[in-house]
Amino acid sequence: MANRPITILGIDPITHALILSDNGNTTANRGDTVTWNVGPNSGVASITSVLDNSTVDVFNPNPAVEPNSTSWQGTVNPNLAVPSQELYSINYTIPGGNEVFRFDPKISVNN
Rounded Cα distance, 95 and 33, in Å: 28
Number of domains, the chain: 1
Q: Are 97 and 74 in contact (CB under 8 A)?
A: no
Range of the structural domain that residue 7 is part of: 3-109
pLDDT of residue 70: 92
Write the pLDDT tens digit of every residue in 39-85.
999 999 999 999 998 888 999 999 999 999 999 999 999 999 999 99
Nearest to 50 by CA among 69, 36, 30: 36
**How much of the chain, in percent, has pLDDT values that exceed 90?**
90
pTM of the model: 0.94
DSSP letter for 81, please.
-
Domain of 78, CATH number, reads 2.60.40.420
Find the mean pLDDT for residues 3-18.
95
Rounded Cα distance, 22 and 5, in Å: 9
Q: Are 30 and 111 in contact (CB under 8 A)?
A: yes
- Position 38 confidence tier, pLDDT thresholds 50, 70, 90: very high
1 pLDDT higher than 90: no
